Structure 1
Amino acid sequence: MDGKYKEIAEELFTRSLTENEMRTAPYEFPEDSPIEQLEERRQRLERQISQDIKLEPEILLRAKQEFMKIDSDADLEFMNQQGGVDRTDDGWMKERVLPMEREYQRVSISGEEKCGVPFTDLVDAAKCVVKALFIREKYIALSMQNFCKTTARELGELGEKPLDLRVYEEIPETPVDADAPVHPPVSETHPYENQDTKNMPADTGYSCKMVDGVMHVYTKKSPMEKSTELDLPYPDLKEYIADMNVMMALIINGPVKSFCYRRLQYLSSKFQMHILLNEMKELAAQKQVPHRDFYNIRKVDTHIHASSCMNQKHLLRFIKRAMKKYPGEIVHMEHGHGQTLMEVFENMNLTAFDLSVDTLDMHADRNTFHRFDKFNAKYNPIGESILREIFIKTDNHIEGKYFGHMIKEVMADLEESKYQNVELRLSIYGRSRDEWDKLAQWAVKHQVYSDNVRWLIQVPRLFDVYRTKKQLANFQEMMENIFMPLFEVTINPRSHPELHLFLQHVVGFDSVDDESKPEHHIFNMDSPLPADWTEEDNPPYSYYLYYTYANMTVLNHLRRRRGFHTFVLRPHCGEAGPVHHLVSGFILSENISHGLLLRKAPVLQYLYYLAQIGIAMSPLSNNSLFLSYHRNPLPEYLSRGLMVSLSTDDPLQFHFTKEPLMEEYSIATQVWKLSSCDMCELARNSVLMSGFSHKVSIRFLFSHLSFCPLWSLSFPFNLSLIMDLIQLSCAWQPFCAKCSALTFSLVSRQRVTGWGPNTARRALKAMTSVAPTSRTSAWHTAVRPCWRSSTSSPTLCAPRTTSTRRKHSPWPPSGQKDTKSTTPPPTSNPPSAPPCMTLRGCSMSGLQLVV
């Protein structure tokens, strides 16, 4: 079987190497949508509602007031008396229809098992999808990244024994009350001020060495005996390639493609039906929330490069100000001779008066479409690389002085706006070992820090360029230059004090470059090891990603031992090039950027949905480079329930205003006619995807929660996600047990709103103590958090905590039984529902909760 997977995968890889342009995949989603018809329906609905309001204004007002008034203890008690539960003979609890349920229109679909697809195809598709999720769960847990707990819980029910999910340890409940501050606590002292090495952790005495492209850590500095190696796990290369082959064979499987395509279309239809029935009620409920609107909810720009985080006007003003303030400062060395800033511009025959935005010529235009080389040239002001080195580089003759000042001005604008946060990318190229120290010294020396900013480190895939220039001997040297300083500062923070301080605000790694470049090599067991990769051809995308992931995994385990925070992998993926880039991203990455090619791969799109993998999308950037705006799949992804957020990518090239993220939101809203609920959901997704600490994210999402009149409607699960996972589970059960278990499990679990039998029995009583809303039905747009448990602790995603070497249950599970647990013994204190929920269309700052 492994040989068959390998043959299929190699054939697909070979096809991707020979084709200049990707063929349109079968089951590709239609690009044109009947916007006019949707608009006519919406207008008819609005006219009908406006007529109803004119006829019965007082009755409608009283109904709204009664509907919104549910947060008092008396109302909850009344609802408990009216609702309650019934217990049937088989031990299952039966919900009564609560009074509030009639406030929303619902549509229920039964007979899922009679969908018209051959049952054997349904079973095979379910097996393949679940197997892919198990593969991702294995690698994400091993690297201590975040994995959606909802998905993990459902996968655990398929295993022969519970999976080792110690990564998902619970954290204390965060108290939320009316007196909670709106903003997270501001640092009292600058984090870069305390550089006293005596206050830093001591040296552990470990040593490290790279073997076959992966770092190994030893307990003694010398000699490096094999017996002294620390047990820091990393993925086996042979196993990774085998998993890649399985995934490549899966995405071209006919029944699986049909199954995933139908499920995605089904999700889109459910969303459109919900909008048609309940959109006006959503907007009416949103207006009831005091003080909060889209402008003052938290938003995070999850994909933005530091070298282009300012707009053209900002850069122009800074250059003119520098020419006026520092004309005689030596900023560049040319053939051993220092040049002042004034001399640099005199050599170009330019003065401050001559400069304009058009002179800078840094904005992307129609000539950059599918021309990444021209786009990279836009980073040079006036087309001169010397100006790029002077103004937007950290490593130059003035030690990045101008660039540091510009970044601090951008940070000041963010702090003034209060509600916008960014994750800036800084580059580490891997050409020399001292790049990390220079970058950290730049940040510490110029005090480049803000509570609104976190850093990611991007590694350009430019080994072929460095090898051609004889700057590197092999690929392993590049990996050593990137990761050796990180291991050294983790082992002994006092050896690199500035780097130790800087890393406290770095959240992960990114892999960047033009994905449309042709790849001349297939990553398999015959590929050279990093030490043997001495040719001038660039390694393939999956090669870069695997060795970055493997070293990051070892580093994360070492840092967790030392009590430091860990890193995540969030690469550029799926912007262009072959689809197998998205396969590597699915297996190894916590989040990705772009993800445009998912629109051509229904299997991968459905897997990204089930795994709730964050996708930072930049429609304006894509519009100038690879895909016109009206063809961008972001609205489709959002309607189907994928974890998508808006980002700016490069404001210097694509935006005009002082607030590029708001510009991105405004254009998307106008072009795709997004509602304020949709905008708030995108903002909420950006916080969930971001690398801000759990404490800060909790304040972003849940502060002032008690101000919301619907805060008590608590349903801590992603309903649509659970529905699909349970349907997969129900399709997998007949493979091991009886076919009749499918219908029983489907109906039973849907009746308890998507939990497994054990959890449902324990929580149903608590769930029926509050009124359900339209978004607590089986709509996939209802609730989209990654809840970590069914307890009363509102949590986002799993924290990265200590984990040992992972032992996974075999898949497929052998001898699996159809487990039907008995009713748990009654307890005096049943678990209460979490005090917050995530609704599709809510701000998730806890301040604007929209039903």
Structure 2
Amino acid sequence: MDLSKDLSQVSIDQPEDKSFEHGDYAGELEDYDDALSHSTNFSYAEEKTINDQDAKMRAFEEIPLQRDSSKKTVKSRRSSSALFSHPPPPPVTKPKIAVSPKLVPKKPLKLSNSYKLGGRNEGVEEHDHETDDIPSPELVELYGHIKTCRELRKKYQTVSYQYPEQNPKNQDDWQIYPPPPRPTYDNKKILPESAQPDSKTFDISKCHIPPADETVAIGNNSDDVLQVIDSDGKPLATDIPTLRDYYMDMEKIISISSDGPAKSFAFRRLQYLEARWNLYYLLNEYEETSVSKKNPHRDFYNVRKVDTHVHHSACMNQKHLLRFIKHKIKNYPTEKVIFRDNKVLSLEEVFQSLNLTAYDLSIDTLDMHAHKDTFHRFDKFNLKYNPIGESRLREIFLKTDNYIQGRYLADITKEVFSDLENSKYQMCEYRISVYGRSINEWSKLAAWVIDNKLLSNNVRWLVQVPRLYDVYKKTGLVKSFHEIIRNLFQPLFEVSIDPSKDPKLFVFLQRVIGFDSVDDESKVDRRFFKKYPIPSLWDAPQNPPYSYYLYYLYANLANLNSYRVKRGFNTFVLRPHSGEAGDPEHLISAYLTSEGISHGILLRKIPFVQYLYYLDQVGVAMSPLSNNALFLTYDKNPFPYYFKRGLNVSLSTDDPLQFSYTREPLIEEYSVAAQIYKLPTLICVNWPRTPSFKVDGRDVSKSTGSDRIIQEEALRVMTWKRPTFLISELLIERRLYRQSTILSSTTLVCVLKVR
């Protein structure tokens, strides 16, 4: 059989088919489900499918050139003999990409066969083989559902000011004290006091504190959501969705995502995206390697990496904590550290009561690593935060509000900050807890940060809110759920209206990015009410469901942001833990209300919602090592599939104290993923750049002395028109590939919805 002859007979005009039927893919699916024995990287069926697609693609490239052969002749990229073998290294030339660089067509858009599932030409080649084929009514309806879901998310995100361009801190005139340092490497020299960076000699009196706004006050709406009202009693923000609207919108997306045709459609679209990535990488692997070698002073180690999900009380590794504890025992044994049994105990007395000395302590004694006994046992995992299994040691060393005002935790935090600053290229977003048990929690936390000068241009904060209403209700700390909401948000509204009321809190909030919602997601959300009551009427002992928590975090945050934007203050986003375990519907409530999420491993079970996350590029901070110890073994983690399909994913460490062995847990996370998934360094370089998470980019950019182009990439606010961060043809090609893929998908949604 003459394969080259067969390829020359391939037609780019696909047969017209006005229906959406499973039979269109019967042949491909049969080929795809064959044996798995002919390749170490791909199964036989996968390799056969990719090779077939490769042949078709190169045939498409050849046909337009044949029509214009009078101008010039271009050789095929590879000979036909390489179809079913690994390709040899190509000559060192300017690399070609498998996508068209024309991201926005200049001529009016025509419907082509690319709208069909598995279309061979979608976003890859835009030649003159477009047709006026009419899509089936079922397909138009499916794209209409997708359009509806995306419009709902856009509404929720817009009114809550969670888009990066809505945040005043991303504007050119935003200023922060202390300003970022000038670009320099750590010279290992002790500087005199006058030459220390501002974060070491922070003086709150140098901070600009705006005056109070006397024209507004704080009120509640009919859903018990805090809001800012003017002198006439009218709310400043009137377009926040109500609790009823929220649950109706949720039910709408749930019903769409559970529809059979919608699930099949989304599943095949995701399979297509993954196969298209495999094809792209197969065609460009050697070119990428060649180009990367020519890129000066840029590799995996000096690309900025942001740990987008890490809990502050577990930000150090076990060895670091062990050394710190031993140091305190040896040097400050008589320091009073805790009040227990009606008396104040010193550090030495605490360890004497445990029959331990500094010499006895070891990694095994601390017993804080999460091993096999924590798998699907979140209760046991929480106990791992207690050194030696003793809650008193956790209170002494890992709490901000204790007898010594959190001084020990502040000391070890400074050491972690120093490691980050010395690395220069690593940043972190630390989660720190506010429980909602008391109205004074915010003031205490802000005082702890400001008084201990825990300020770093490599660090920003997120405030995590544990879902523990049932515990507080049982112990009598609160009477209703409304008390928790009031304790969480009333201080923020007050300091936004009058910053002089609590200057430390106002300065601390400049370094807060957003809010997180944490707890064991595997707990069952039982519906005790036919219609959920408002928070002031929720006085039952049962915990509200996940979606209820998320709505009241979102609604209060939206009202707070709407006022802070008017005053030119930075806004906050919502990034909850979602999709780690439990009900997959958590991901739908997060899709509406949140800018991004952490974990998201349950997206693999709901393909339609996963496709929505792809289309809207919702940030997903994934922690495979953490999931491996708690809910999902490493080999089953969907991270590589999410990445190949184009979801907005990043790697994060979650809890280095429980999962890491080195002082660079983020590098450890990357290295393990690269080894397990057998991906080269070039892919790892792309991981830190893909998510929409950021560490206050204005500050990051200034600290590197870079221009606006690099500043926008340091922001890590990923849009599809930003310039490249690594000035390299390699990442320009990768970016063009991702751009064209998502553009073709979103364009289909808009066009077919119109039809």
Select 1:201's aligned residue among 202, 210, 229: 210
Select 2:138's aligned residue among 112, 117, 121: 121
Please identify, of 187-196 and 319-328, the stretch whose mean Cα deviation from structure 2 is larger.
187-196
SS at match of 1:583: helix
1:388 shift after superposition = 0.3
Within 5 Å, give how 1:640-719 maps onto structure 2: 640-686=645-691, 688-694=692-698, 696=700, 699=710, 708=728, 718-719=739-740
Letter in 2 for 1:445: D
1:589-624: per-residue Cα shift (whole Å, max 9, x none)? 000000011000000000000000000000000000
Q: Could you say which residue in structure 1 is the equivalent of 2:149?
A: 132
2:602 matched to 1:588?
A: no
Select 1:401's aligned residue among 393, 396, 407: 407
Q: Could you say which residue in structure 1 is the equivalent of 2:226?
A: 215
Q: Distance in 2 between matches of 1:707 and 1:295?
A: 16
1:194 shift after superposition = 3.4
Does the aligned pair in 1 maintain the 2:554–2:593 contact within 8 Å?
yes
Change (3 A) 1:169 1:460: closer
Change (3 A) 1:68 1:527: closer
1:155-185: per-residue Cα shift (whole Å, max 9, x none)? xxxxxxxxxxx889996799xxxxx987799
Q: Distance in 2 between matches of 1:577 and 1:676?
A: 34
Q: Could you say which residue in structure 2 is the equivalent of 1:38?
A: 42
Letter in 1 for 2:614: Y
Does the aligned pair in 2 maintain the 1:183–1:700 contact within 8 Å?
no
Q: Distance in 2 between matches of 1:610 and 1:91?
A: 23
Letter in 1 for 2:309: H
Select 2:515's aligned residue among 500, 509, 518: 509
Select 1:190's aligned residue among 174, 199, 214: 199
Within 5 Å, give how 1:208-357 maps onto structure 2: 208-211=218-221, 212-219=223-230, 227=233, 229-231=235-237, 233-357=239-363
User: For the aligned residues, what is the CA RMSD?
Assistant: 3.7
SS at match of 2:359: helix
Change (3 A) 1:269 1:183: farther
Q: Distance in 1 between matches of 2:519 and 2:403?
A: 26
Q: Distance in 2 between matches of 1:507 and 1:564?
A: 12
Q: Could you say which residue in structure 2 is the equivalent of 1:486?
A: 492
- Identify which of structures 1 and 2 has the higher relative contact order when contacts are C-alpha pairs closer than 8 Å and 6+ apart: 1
Does the aligned pair in 2 maintain the 1:428–1:482 contact within 8 Å?
yes
SS at match of 2:690: helix
1:787-820: per-residue Cα shift (whole Å, max 9, x none)? xxxxxxxxxxxxxxxxxxxxxxxxxxxxxxxxxx
Q: Distance in 1 between matches of 2:137 and 2:108?
A: 32
Within 5 Å, give how 1:777-792 maps onto structure 2: none
Does the aligned pair in 1 maintain the 2:36–2:43 contact within 8 Å?
no
Q: Distance in 2 between matches of 1:170 and 1:497?
A: 22
Change (3 A) 1:533 1:673: same
TM-score (norm: length of structure 1): 0.69
SS at match of 2:308: strand
2:439 matched to 1:433?
A: yes
1:349-372: per-residue Cα shift (whole Å, max 9, x none)? 000000000000000000100000
TM-score (norm: length of structure 2): 0.78
SS at match of 2:673: helix
2:160 matched to 1:143?
A: yes
* Unaligned segments of structure 1, at least 5 residues: 1-28, 54-59, 70-82, 94-105, 150-165, 175-179, 221-225, 735-851
Between the two proteins, the alignment pairs up a number of residues equal to 637
Does the aligned pair in 2 maintain the 1:608–1:642 contact within 8 Å?
yes
Q: Could you say which residue in structure 1 is the equivalent of 2:178?
A: none
Q: Distance in 2 between matches of 1:307 and 1:363?
A: 14
SS at match of 1:722: helix
SS at match of 2:484: helix
Select 2:378's aligned residue among 363, 366, 372: 372
Q: Distance in 2 between matches of 1:671 and 1:654?
A: 16
Q: Could you say which residue in structure 1 is the equivalent of 2:459?
A: 453
1:291 shift after superposition = 1.1
1:189 shift after superposition = 2.2
SS at match of 1:433: coil
Q: Distance in 2 between matches of 1:354 and 1:170?
A: 51
1:320-361: per-residue Cα shift (whole Å, max 9, x none)? 001111111110011331000000000000000000000000
Change (3 A) 1:509 1:406: same
Q: Could you say which residue in structure 1 is the equivalent of 2:118?
A: none
Q: Could you say which residue in structure 1 is the equivalent of 2:744?
A: 723
Does the aligned pair in 2 maintain the 1:298–1:700 contact within 8 Å?
no
Does the aligned pair in 2 maintain the 1:523–1:543 contact within 8 Å?
no
Change (3 A) 1:173 1:570: same
SS at match of 1:227: coil
Q: Distance in 2 between matches of 1:493 and 1:181?
A: 29
1:719 shift after superposition = 1.2
* Unaligned segments of structure 2, at least 5 residues: 1-31, 51-80, 111-122, 175-180, 187-194, 702-708, 715-723
Q: Distance in 2 between matches of 1:716 and 1:181?
A: 35
Does the aligned pair in 2 maintain the 1:141–1:167 contact within 8 Å?
no
Letter in 2 for 1:733: V
1:254 shift after superposition = 1.5
SS at match of 2:592: helix
Change (3 A) 1:92 1:661: closer
Q: Could you say which residue in structure 1 is the equivalent of 2:475?
A: 469
Does the aligned pair in 1 maintain the 2:291–2:728 contact within 8 Å?
no
1:522 shift after superposition = 6.7
Change (3 A) 1:414 1:39: farther
Does the aligned pair in 2 maintain the 1:614–1:689 contact within 8 Å?
yes
1:557 shift after superposition = 1.0
2:514 matched to 1:500?
A: no
SS at match of 1:38: coil
1:731 shift after superposition = 2.0
Does the aligned pair in 1 maintain the 2:368–2:387 contact within 8 Å?
yes
1:696 shift after superposition = 3.0
Change (3 A) 1:705 1:135: closer
SS at match of 1:196: helix
